[in-house]
A and B are shown apart, each in its own frame.
Chain A
Amino acid sequence: MNKHFVSVENLSKRFPTKSEDLVVFDEVNIGFDKGEFVCIIGHSGCGKSTILNVLAGLDTPSGGAVIMDGTEVSGPSLDRGVVFQNYSLLPWLTTLQNVSFGVQARWPKWDKKKVDEHSKHFLEMVGLSASLNKKPAQLSGGMRQRVSIARAFATSPKLLLLDEPFGALDALTRGVIQDELLKIWNATQQTVFMITHDVDEAILLADRILLMTNGPNARIAESVKVSIPRPRDRSDIIEHPAYYKIRNHLVNFLVKRSGEMSGAAAPTGNTLEVDPAEPDATAAATSVPIKKAAAYTA
């Protein structure tokens, strides 16, 4: 395996039950390069969140390891920022205090003024300069998630983990915050790993989209390259010739192949690299795994 900035190696999660172990996922291998934006899509219960929690150090795998920057992940760290779906803001703190909570933890030696300035800078990037002294309860869901994103980016983690950050937001708000996220990501060049259920969101944001088969025995079946140049704009991106090829590939996977391939052992334990934008790759990728899956389930 070539050197990646973060590599997930042979990760598995099982839960012991009376008869035999329930395998949630098995042989998960992912490599992240520095500055890469990777999305993962899969149906509920395939263990996406568990993978993210293992990356964060909040959960322990049953097998395998996560290696970041040469060292194994063994617990939570400020090097890996997390944005949770339910925002996880501290409700007794104001917007600014929630962000400076993280900044202070990251740089304990900074004085209050520097902490505040740094925090305000990131809140400005997500467009919240006017709500610094509001408590989370006074903010809308979208604004809360922006605070949470600002908190994560403000600590400049080496790897940023987003667990379905826009899952609870309405479509319009979601669009606006996706733009904010792209803006702040462009400015900071973070390495990002994000869980999503939204195909369009994944295409807009990601360099690479990982597709997981259904659980139990889930695995990462494909790694789909999003070969649409950046900066991307939500209105222009749909005009790009590759857009619908990628989109169709993803939807096809979610609707059909994710179920067909579920439970099937990976041919080599390796993830299939796919670039739907390449003329013949689409056909190969959409047809081959089905045959393989059929062969393995039969």
Chain B
Amino acid sequence: MLNTLNGRAILLSMVLLAISLGIWEALNQPPEASAAMSEFEMLMGGADQEARVPPPSQVLEHAWTELSNPFYDAGPNDKGIGIQLAYSIYRVLTGYFAAALVAIPLGFVIGMSPLMHKALTPFIQVLRPISPLAWMPLALFIIKDSEQSAIFVIFICSIWPMLINTAFGVANVRKDWIRVAQTHELGALKTAWKVILPAAAPTILTGMRISIGIAWLVIVAAEMLVGGTGIGYYVWNEWNNLDLNSVIFSILMIGIVGMLLDMALATVAKLVQYEE
């Protein structure tokens, strides 16, 4: 195992994990059993001294119980982690694909037409730096539905990286390849489909990969605002419940799902990658 770079990397990761979990565990042991506090001490917040970040052993134990029954539904305030994540993933993917449907064709137009590029750049420059959550009140007012407003926020935050990357990729397709299309009398649509799309696909996929990352970041915040369901709501709800086990567990789950989404896009990117 120590002979290969991968083997050594895995080993080192394990060691680092063990050390950090060990420190975390050691720093968060329950205090020595103290004499029972008087009622007065209790009222004065004596319990503060007992409040602590749960050690990893407790979190893992909690994770095990949550993960062994991820899809239970015991009312609005008590749903399994699987259900919460499914809501979030559904919102992210809906907003994300809606954004792709707009951003990729529009990116083609901007990339292929210098006129459109110049005409649309000011709009993009102004709209792009707006924090997606700033759209939330307006979205809530216009759409009048919290669920769809969250999807809209995902839409608006995913659109920019895809739009800009598509436009860049399309505008920078090698002139030689365009000439090949021209000398073979391909029309504009066929050129776009058979030459520009495959040529720009790796750049477009880079944009899509950035977008899915941003969308997953934003959904947590959006759901904290709109409430109801979703992993973002779940984290905030467990904070209100002062259930830090669940908070840490869901932070971990957010990370894992984000990684899986990125890996999925990386796989697609590999399929359209070409070597020059």
Within 8 A of B (CB), among A125-141: 135-137
Q: Which residues of chain A come closer than 8 Å to B195, judged between CB atoms?
A: 90
The answer on a CB contact under 8 Å between A78 and B275 is no
The answer on a CB contact under 8 Å between A101 and B184 is yes
Within 8 A of B (CB), among A69-89: 75-78, 80-82, 84, 86, 88
Q: Known contacts A88-B176, A90-B180, A101-B194: does B185 contact A76 (CB below 8 Å)?
A: yes
From A80, A105, A137, A155, B186 is in contact (CB under 8 Å) with: A105
Interface size class of A (residues with CB under 8 A): 20 to 34
The answer on a CB contact under 8 Å between B183 and A82 is yes
Q: Which residues of chain A come closer than 8 Å to B185, judged between CB atoms?
A: 76-78, 105
The answer on a CB contact under 8 Å between A58 and B183 is yes
Question: A69 vs B182: C-alpha distance in the bound complex, in angstroms?
Answer: 20
Q: Known contacts A135-B274, A137-B275: does B184 contact A56 (CB below 8 Å)?
A: no
Question: A80 vs B276: C-alpha distance in the bound complex, in angstroms?
Answer: 26
Interface size class of B (residues with CB under 8 A): 10 to 19
Question: A135 vs B184: C-alpha distance in the bound complex, in angstroms?
Answer: 20
Main secondary structure of the interface of A (DSSP, over half): loop
From A58, A102, A105, A137, B179 is in contact (CB under 8 Å) with: A58
The answer on a CB contact under 8 Å between A88 and B177 is yes
Within 8 A of A (CB), among B253-276: 272, 274-276
Residue of B nearest to A79 (CB): B185
Q: Which residues of chain B come closer than 8 Å to A86, judged between CB atoms?
A: 176
The answer on a CB contact under 8 Å between A90 and B198 is yes
Question: A84 vs B180: C-alpha distance in the bound complex, in angstroms?
Answer: 9
Question: A75 vs B179: C-alpha distance in the bound complex, in angstroms?
Answer: 11
The answer on a CB contact under 8 Å between B182 and A58 is yes
Closest 8 CB pairs of A and B: A137-B275, A105-B184, A92-B274, A88-B176, A76-B182, A91-B274, A92-B198, A76-B183
- Please give the residue numbers on chain A whose beta carbons come within 8 Å of chain B beta carbons, in ascending order: 56-58, 75-78, 80-82, 84, 86, 88, 90-92, 101-102, 105-106, 135-137, 155
- 8 new A-B contacts, CB < 8 A, other than A57-B183, A75-B182, A155-B184, are A76-B179, A76-B182, A76-B183, A76-B185, A84-B176, A90-B177, A101-B184, A102-B184
- Please give the residue numbers on chain B whose beta carbons come within 8 Å of chain A beta carbons, in ascending order: 176-177, 179-180, 182-186, 194-195, 198-199, 201, 272, 274-276
8 residue pairs A–B, Cβ–Cβ below 8 Å:
A57-B183, A76-B179, A80-B183, A88-B177, A92-B198, A105-B186, A135-B274, A135-B275
